[in-house]
A and B are shown apart, each in its own frame.
Chain A
Amino acid sequence: MLSVRHLTKTYPNGKKGLQDVSFTAAPGTVTAVIGPSGAGKTTLLRSLNRLITPEQGTVTLGDQELRGADAQALRQARRQIGMIFQDYNLIEPLSALENVLQGCLGQKRLLPGVLGLYTKAETSHALALLDEVGLRAYAAQKTRDLSGGQKQRVGIARALMQDPKVLLCDEPIASLDPQSTRTVMTIIADLAKARNLIVVMNLHQVGIAREFADHIVGVNAGRIVFDDNAAALTELAAAAIYEKEATALA
């Protein structure tokens, strides 16, 4: 279980990124975080693996608390948290296979890691993951030559290479066409069930969130204004999440 309690983040310019945010995400489910632009969705997601450090609150994965963890403990915790990004963040001069292999760097010793020496088992695992996302034939291809949807699938395979307990997805379909959107969302939803993953995902599209998520968290102005099952997200509730007035009500 991923448990977030009373998370608060204020940026140096005084802007409130998160205000007393609490929710839980269960294994084998997809939690979609929705809300207007600038609502704090990315801040929330990046606080979960401490790419952003909140001032207050706790993020607990199993029995491990992340917000107060030291550098070593944080690196260990991050190995259990895979992440995919809106712009994929692949290393484009490298092949799809090399990008996927990077997912296991957090578990490697420094010298073999720096020398880029991967074991046969690691390479086989990476190839199997590329197969799982339907890109086995593109293993040797430079990722700069792949389409957006293919890049995102390489990103998913890279995250899975960590063998994570949690998968964080920061706007994973924002740069994709409708067909690639459905492919990527289907892969993520299936993975959550098949691997018992805790998936937390930022989304803009309410319809997609309803269709693929089990649990929806609505955020506005850094506060949670909705936290329920996907089925409970009525048109009215969705409108309230995206309304500016919701800020005042919250």
Chain B
Amino acid sequence: MISNPELTADSLQPAKLTPTPRPRLRAKRPARALLLALVAITGYTLTTLAPHGVDLGAASLTFLRNLRLMFLQPHLGQETFAQLSQALLLTVALALLTTLIGAGLAFFLALITARNLAPRSLGDVMRSVMALIRAVPTILWVLVYATVIGLGTEAAVVGLSFHSVAYLTKAFAEAIEEVPKEKLDALRASGAGFWLTVRHAVWPLVRQRLLAWTFIRFEINFANAVAVGAAAGTGGIGYYLFMASAFYFDFQEVGLIVLMILVFAAGLEMIAVRMRKSLLTGN
């Protein structure tokens, strides 16, 4: 006898195969609605954003003419080519200095962050601090230091280095963590201390990767150094770019400066590609 009222003949039948809801479609529904809303808002804005007094056709033509002026007819303006080259060198020097400071400090900090070398608790603290520093953009760190030190090169050096340290510490620590513990054990087992183990087991195995990361950071710091030239009064090519565009509206000089930066950046990229290749082939 069935005492449980729920256990009726019907309930004892094999369960009917009811179609299960499709979660993927369900999840897509709000996204689709959001997309539609955004399209509607964009459409409405574009049609109602009447550029009073602005002839869009003429404006587009002027824009293209300015682009042509910038990139097809670059020309010197207020400054000589020597001045601009010197400014570019200053920006490169700023990027190089901050990268070297960052890489030097980051190497030692990475040793107390990597899980295979440092105590876990210390590594976790370091990781959190570095994540916190990285979360604030480089340019903001420069401005933060500018309020303490004052606008200028010093604030740029400290700010750029500060973010570089946090960025490279994470990258270096992750590279070091890829060294198998057994390789470290082999040296420890022979009586070698911490520094000898780092120098003779860690360094030969990670140096190429550290160099590659340092180079990537140099590229980032070069871009940042151009930006802080204008934003933090550091000087360099960024300052002249700012003056040529915002003060003199000299598109030809802006074009020349941008092309100078592009040529240098392309050179950096070529070196980076070679380094990546050598890293992949292990040479």
Contacts and interface: CB of A to CB of B under 8 A. Distances in A.
A76 B182 contact: no
A108 B204 contact: no
Contact of A114 (B186, B188, B199, B205): B199
Contacts of B186: 83, 85, 89-90, 158
Interface residues of A, number: 33
B60 interface: no
Interface in A14-37: none
A116 B282 CA distance: 22
Contacts of A51: 185, 188-189
B184 to A, nearest CB: 9
Interface string A74-103: 011111011101010111111000000011
A162 B190 contact: yes
B195 A105 contact: no
Contacts of A38: none
Contacts of B196: 105-106, 108, 110, 113-114
Interface in B189-240: 189-193, 195-196, 199-201, 204-205
Given A89-B185, A91-B183, A91-B205, A78 B190 contact: yes
Contacts of B171: none
A89 B190 contact: no
A102 to B, nearest CB: 5
A147 interface: no
Contacts of B180: 89
B260 interface: no
A121 to B, nearest CB: 18
A93 to B, nearest CB: 5
B179 to A, nearest CB: 10
B275 interface: no
Interface residues of B, number: 20
A110 B193 contact: yes
Contacts of B282: 93, 144
Chain A residues touching B, majority SS: mixed
Contacts of B187: 102, 105
Interface string A128-172: 000000000000000010000000000000110010000010000
A107 interface: yes
Contacts of A202: none
Residue in B182, B186, B188, B195 with the greatest tally of chain A CB atoms within 10 Å:
B186
A162 B195 CA distance: 18
Contact of A83 (B189, B192, B195, B200): B189
B204 A93 contact: yes
A80 to B, nearest CB: 8
A67 B156 CA distance: 53
Contacts of A58: none
B189 A105 contact: no
A41 to B, nearest CB: 16
Nearest to A159: B190
Contacts of B200: 91, 102, 105, 113, 116
A120 B200 CA distance: 19
Contacts of A110: 193, 195-196
19 contacts: A49-B189, A76-B191, A85-B186, A89-B180, A91-B201, A91-B205, A93-B205, A93-B282, A94-B204, A102-B192, A102-B200, A103-B190, A105-B187, A105-B191, A105-B192, A113-B196, A116-B200, A158-B190, A168-B189
